[in-house]
Amino acid sequence: MNVPLSILEFRDRAEMYFGEKTAIFDGEKKFTYGEFGKRTHRLANALRALGVRKGDRVSIICSNTHHMLEAYFGVIEAGAVLTPINIRLLPQNIAYIINHAASKVIFYHKDFTELVQKIKSDIPETRHFIVIEGEADNLATHEYEDLLNAASIEYQPQDFDENDIAELFYTSGTTGNPKGVALTHRNLHLHTLYAAIALKACDEDVVLHMIPLFHVNGLGQPHIFTLVGASHVLLRKYDPLMLLKLIHQYRVTHLIGVPTMHAGVVNCPEFDQYDVSSLKFVMAGGAPASSTLLHTMQKKVIKTAMAGYGLTETSPLICLAYPRKHLTDSEPPEMQFQRQTATGWAIPGIKIRVVDTHGNDVRPDGQQIGEIIVRSNVVMHGYYKDEKATQEAIRNGWFYTGDMATINDKRYFTIVDRSKDVIISGGENLSSLEIENVIFKHPAVLECVVVAAPDERWGEVPVALIVLKSGVTATADDILLHCRQHLPGFKIPKRIEFRENLLKGGTGKILKSEIREEFWKGHKKRVH
């Protein structure tokens, strides 16, 4: 028997076996899985009534609300392709995405009314504008709750080909127009199963959605935790204190975020006022986490705080630094911690290699650097309407990530940099991450990014931009002295700049490439 894989199975299962369980918490609002399922059926039927047909794209501009979670299933049930929009992008980028996807319908939260007004005249193919938690007006053709209430509650399942595109997530477009990553039912279904095993997810779990759900398939969490009947807690806007309150109130078990988010939590002045002992899985992903941050998390939050890795193009999770018991039982604690700070090892269903420029595997010595390549059912169908970019990324049955790493004899790999973030200074290849990790060890540093800046003598040199912890002072000389104690001279930043904050994307990830461009305006192209 060959049954087509569909992500709707996860919601259907939760509705059947956990229908009476209160599982969706969004501020004062809460829904059982039974209520949630009925709302997604109404959403699907409402879209059909608007003329949405199989394969049509539906965009949503919204933060982490129950409406966004409903779209993950209701839009798909209608046969449409869910296209969440990164709310941190510039209006022109958002207009480009909507036009490129040819979205027929846009759902938007009232908080983004001004944004939609700015771009409406630039997206002529969009026919329906549905406001969330607002009122229908000259801009909105419908209001969300009115639309649902007028729709049938009947579940009208339709046949899916597992290779049909289900979701379309656009990259940030830091080196050109955003690219649409097309993920199929098969990609997403198998990613959910693989990741659920890796996360050891079950119905007793409570996940707090701190990463925006418009980002990289919500890290797969809407599917993973619905599949097992766990509870979802929505955080509409990242705020460390509110996050701590929600962990305490709902006894959250799973917390996945980018390093800057976790840094905000562990450095929150009110941290000790809240009970975080319910946490059993905490992962820092989306950007490399410093050993200093993971050590602090391990000390203050959970013993097994770890790094993880994934990309939009891989649905996304492909790697975790989970301890392997047969190794850690015979190793000292410092070695276990060293493994947890590595990027990790492949989760089930994923094959990962690190290769040199000729496609040969690098030595598993933790020293030789190569590019991470991936082979798995979770790798994207391709870049939407961009066959050239797809062929450049997927070659000979492997997806080339552009991330540079080493791999050791136990098959743990460690990212040393994005290929574009390596700093070539006087012919030496410098890892910006290595320099950042040293700077993070200074007790005054909250956030840090190291980028290449032009230099007449060396071509380019490392420059460090630093945000200090609240109420703490440090000078550039203090930071440089610290660096000299841990780095050879040619790796020490040539300049230290202190900033009130660092430019970040929708997930809180520091936008290194955009920060780097500040230094290269008016200069010729970088040397690589």
Helices marked H in 29-153 — which ranges?
33-49, 66-77, 91-101, 113-119, 144-149
d(CA 13, CA 4): 16
* Cβ-contact 31, 81 below 8 angstroms: no
- pLDDT value at residue 300: 92
**Which tokens in the block code for residue 263?**
């840094």
Q: Is the pLDDT of residue 419 over 80?
A: no
d(CA 176, CA 521): 16
User: Cα dihedral angle (344, 350, 355, 361), rounded to 10 degrees?
Assistant: 100
Q: What is the DSSP letter of 28?
A: T
3-state secondary structure 125-156: CCCEEEEECCCCCCCCCEEHHHHHHCCCCCCC
Across the range 259-274, mean pLDDT stands at: 93
Instruction: Provide the 10 A C-beta neighbour count for residue 405.
Output: 22
- Written as one letter, the residue type at 159 is D
d(CA 165, CA 380): 10
- pLDDT value at residue 428: 67
- pLDDT value at residue 72: 98
Instruction: Provide the 10 A C-beta neighbour count for residue 400.
Output: 18
Tell me the pLDDT tens digit for each residue of 197-239. Answer: 999 999 999 999 999 999 899 999 999 999 999 999 999 999 9
Higher-confidence residue of 292 and 15: namely: 15
Q: Is the pLDDT of residue 371 over 80?
A: yes
* Cβ-contact 162, 185 below 8 angstroms: yes
Question: CB burial class (10 A; 0-12, 13-18, 19+) of residue 338?
Answer: middle
- pLDDT value at residue 521: 83
Q: Is the pLDDT of residue 158 over 90?
A: no
Question: Buried b / exposed e across 408-421, counting CB within 10 Å, b at 16+?
Answer: beeebbbbbbbeeb
Across the range 23-42, mean pLDDT stands at: 98
**Which tokens in the block code for residue 140?**
């909105």
Q: Is the pLDDT of residue 175 over 60?
A: no
Prediction pTM value: 0.86
Alpha-carbon 312 to chain mean position: 7
Q: Is the pLDDT of residue 528 over 50?
A: no
CA distances for 256 relative to 10, 212, 240, 383, 423, angstroms: 20, 11, 14, 26, 29
Tell me the pLDDT tens digit for each residue of 106-120. Answer: 999 999 999 999 999
d(CA 308, CA 323): 12
Residue the block writes with tokens 């305006």: 521
| Residues in Cβ contact with 331 at an 8 Å cutoff, skipping those fewer than 6 apart | none
Tell me the pLDDT tens digit for each residue of 499-516. Answer: 999 998 877 888 888 898
Helices (H) and strands (E) in the chain, counts: 17, 27
3-state secondary structure 436-495: HHHHHCCCCEEEEEEEEEEECCCEEEEEEEEEECCCCCCCHHHHHHHHHCCCCHHHCCCE
Q: Where is average pLDDT lowest: 55-69, 328-342, 381-395, 492-506?
A: 328-342
Helices marked H in 318-475 — which ranges?
325-328, 333-341, 387-393, 432-440
Residue the block writes with tokens 């190569």: 370
Tell me the pLDDT tens digit for each residue of 439-490. Answer: 999 999 999 999 999 887 777 889 999 999 999 999 999 999 999 998 888 8
**Which tokens in the block code for residue 453?**
């800046």
Higher-confidence residue of 93 and 246: namely: 246
- The H or E element that residue 376 is part of is strand 370-376
- pLDDT value at residue 527: 44
Alpha-carbon 22 to chain mean position: 26
Tell me the pLDDT tens digit for each residue of 37-73. Answer: 999 999 999 999 999 999 999 999 999 999 999 999 9
Sign of CA dihedral 365, 366, 370, 372: positive
Tell me the pLDDT tens digit for each residue of 124-143. Answer: 999 999 999 999 889 999 99
**Which tokens in the block code for residue 102?**
């040819």
Question: Buried b / exposed e across 189-226, counting CB within 10 Å, b at 16+?
Answer: bbbbbbbbebbebeeebbbbbbbbbbbbbbbbbbbbbb
In the chain, helix, strand, coil percent, each to 5?
Answer: 35, 25, 40
Half-sphere exposure of 103 (CA within 13 A, CB side): 30
Query: Residue 275 — very low, low, confident or very high, per pLDDT cuts 50/70/90?
Result: very high
- pLDDT value at residue 142: 96
d(CA 61, CA 131): 10
Instruction: State yes or no: cis peptide before 316, omega within 30 of 0.
Output: yes
Across the range 166-186, mean pLDDT stands at: 87
